[in-house]
Amino acid sequence: MNLAIVVSDFHKEITSEMLEAAKAEAEKNNLIVKEIVSVIGAFDIPLPLKRVLAKKEVDCAIVLGAVVQGETSHDEIVAYATAEKIQELSLLYNKPVGYGISGPRMTVAQAKKRAKEFAVRAIEAAVRSL
């Protein structure tokens, strides 16, 4: 099965660890990573996700990012809006999308601690939904 990964560069110290964990887990599950798309932030994931899901050679995808809490509720707006669009795209293309975006309401320390776990679970979700 062929996998696409869309990963946010925001909080790259976290998301780069997520990406490496996801690639390792994909290999364990006999998934071929056909494409990796980097975007600026989690909010920017839906459009490139739509593009990769439209490709016939892509069977499933995962999204990776870290949405951490700041001084306002901006993290909640980003996380909820992004999650809704990702789910809509999964249903539109009838392809599983493993959700590996941590947050909202997480500190940087919490997101770092859970980086690998979120990535592995995103792969597991995509595989189990195939």
Residues with a catalytic annotation lie at: 74
β-sheet with 97-106: strand ranges across: 32-39, 2-8, 60-68, 97-106
Alpha-carbon span 24 to 116, nearest angstrom: 10
Alpha-carbon span 127 to 121, nearest angstrom: 10
User: Residue 59: how many CB atoms within 10 A of its CB?
Assistant: 18
Residue 30 backbone zone (phi > 0: left; psi -120 to 50: alpha; other: beta): left
